[in-house]
Amino acid sequence: MAAPYTYIKRKAEDALAAVVNSLKGTGLDGVTFFKGLSFGTLSTPRLEILAPKASPERFGETYTGNWTVTLICAVVSHKNDGERDQHGLFCGTFEDIVMRDDMETQMNAAGITDFTAFDPGWYPGDSDDSVEGSEVRTEYEMSIYCKPS
């Protein structure tokens, strides 16, 4: 049975985290992953993966069961964690992963129950840099066209 639609955002977060973890090599060594609305202690350096929005696909009055899930990911370092180059290495590794042209295949191979990514369906978007207090953030927005399977 397919997962309830309310979980599609968590499924997308899990799939992306699994892909990044499997392809990270040594470029994200020491980076802690936080998915969803984590309320634990947010250490640095970290990768935050959050799906704040899911939009159902609709044709006329009919919902198809497919979704476009928006993912916001942030590479976060403490200003005192080291050089700007280290933050750049983390970002570069993450960007190399999410810019792959086989992300849908990778997400489907992640083994997330009741989740199917469509091909084409992966859309990397904008990135923004900011400093918030003592943290340096590079935030990425992307989306995945998918369904609970």
What is the DSSP track for 118-133?
EEEEEEEEEEEEEEET
pLDDT digits (tens, 9 = 90+) for 81-140: 666 789 999 999 999 999 999 999 999 999 998 899 999 999 999 999 999 898 999 999
Secondary structure of residue 142 in the 3-state scheme? strand
Structural domain that includes position 104? 5-147
> pTM score, two decimals?
0.92
Q: What is the CATH number of the domain that holds 26?
A: 3.30.2000.30
What's the DSSP call for residue 81? Answer: S
- What pLDDT does residue 3 have? 46
| pLDDT classification of 149: cutoffs 50, 70, 90 | confident
Report the C-alpha gap between 118 and 105 in whole angstroms. 9
Judge whether 140 and 76 are in contact, CB under 8 Å.
no
Phi, psi of 95 (to 5 degrees): -65, -40
As for how many domains the chain has, the answer is: 1
